[in-house]
């Protein structure tokens, strides 16, 4: 590589970037420095490690500086690179939606276990489409419907369906969850807003300042969305159908009680890798 000032090498950039990110209290600063530089250079991380003395051209060097400054302000990595991995998928990400998280893969695992052969799948609050698309990628006979209140999120989910070769098996609607839906589904999925309103400001800066409040705010007690889901699910689930809901920490008992009050049957709850009850499976009444 050529066209850079003296000292502007891969190794120098990575060293400086690691220091900047560490000072900004970013977790895994060295890893994130590599991710940002690889993105700026449009190469793989392995390519950076192969020759740390390689010069960085002026244009990607400037791009890297802009990315680094934004990450030091705690702009999420997925917003800077424009994508995130989830399950086996590559998903485009924007500030219109939550960034897919590894914990949410627990929801996919629980759904695949609860309904081995769904025909019709519904995802309420689909966001990037991560959960719905992951399930459809494992169940080629299924057709999915995603609903999100945000038109920007719905457009992004459609794009991600196209990106992952699933567009012909997905319909994405912008609307108020189940209000405009007709028919019943074998499997209903949802990762609803479940953060207490007063707790949002205390979340890590990447979340509190950069992810949409609409997808985070679960009301004063964090349970508003679950109340709406409990009321809607009996009319959405086919006979023998299952719903799989993501839970926040400490919410299992309260959500199960809401479900029972609506006539739904709590079947099992799958923990995430940290042992937190994360994916609650409910049976149709």
Q: Answer whether residue 59 shows pLDDT above 80.
A: yes
C-alpha span between 125 and 189 (Å, rounded):
9
- Cα separations (Å) of 258 from 38, 93, 124, 139, 177? 47, 32, 17, 30, 18
CB-CB neighbours of 198 under 10 Å: 11
Q: Give the pLDDT band (50/70/90) at residue 4.
A: very low
State residue 260's pLDDT score: 97
Q: Is the pLDDT of residue 2 over 70?
A: no
With tokens 């159908």, the residue in question is: 241
Residues 6+ apart with CB under 8 A from 181: 122, 145, 147, 173, 236
- 198-255 tens-digit pLDDT: 999 999 999 999 998 888 989 999 999 999 999 999 999 999 999 999 999 999 999 9
**What share of the chain in percent tops pLDDT 90?**
84
Q: What pTM was estimated for this model as a whole?
A: 0.89
Q: According to the model, what pLDDT value does residue 48 have?
A: 86
Instruction: Name, in order, each residue with C-beta under 8 angstroms of 83's C-beta and a sequence gap of 6 or more.
Output: 90, 91, 92, 93
CATH of 83-283, one of 3.40.50.150, 3.40.50.1860, 3.40.50.170, 3.40.50.970: 3.40.50.150
């Amino acid at each position: 590589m050529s066209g850079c000032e003296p000292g502007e090498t891969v190794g120098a950039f990575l060293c400086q970037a690691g220091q900047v990110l560490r000072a900004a209290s970013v977790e895994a600063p060295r890893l994130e420095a590599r991710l940002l530089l690889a993105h700026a250079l449009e190469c793989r991380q392995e390519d950076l490690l192969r020759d740390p003395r390689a010069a960085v051209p002026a244009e990607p060097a400037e791009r890297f500086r802009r990315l680094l400054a934004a990450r030091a302000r705690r702009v999420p990595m997925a917003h800077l690179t424009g994508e995130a991995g989830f399950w086996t998928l590559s998903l485009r990400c924007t500030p219109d939606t939550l960034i897919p998280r590894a914990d949410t893969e627990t929801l996919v695992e629980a759904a695949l276990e609860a309904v081995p052969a769904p025909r019709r799948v519904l995802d309420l609050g689909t966001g990037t489409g991560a959960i719905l698309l992951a399930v459809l990628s494992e169940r080629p006979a299924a057709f999915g419907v995603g609903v999100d209140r945000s038109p920007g999120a719905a457009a992004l989910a459609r794009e991600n369906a196209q990106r992952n070769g699933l567009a012909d098996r997905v319909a994405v609607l912008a609307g108020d969850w189940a209000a405009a839906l007709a028919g019943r589904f074998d499997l209903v999925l949802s990762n609803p807003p479940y953060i207490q309103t007063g707790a949002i400001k205390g979340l890590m800066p990447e979340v509190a300042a950069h992810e949409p409040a609409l997808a985070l705010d679960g009301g004063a007690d964090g349970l508003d969305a679950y109340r709406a889901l409990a009321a809607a699910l009996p009319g959405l689930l086919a006979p023998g159908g299952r719903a799989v809901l993501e839970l926040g920490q400490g919410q299992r008992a309260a959500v199960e009680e809401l479900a029972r009050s609506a006539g739904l049957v709590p079947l099992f709850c799958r923990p995430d890798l940290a042992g937190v009850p994360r994916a609650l499976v409910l049976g149709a009444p």
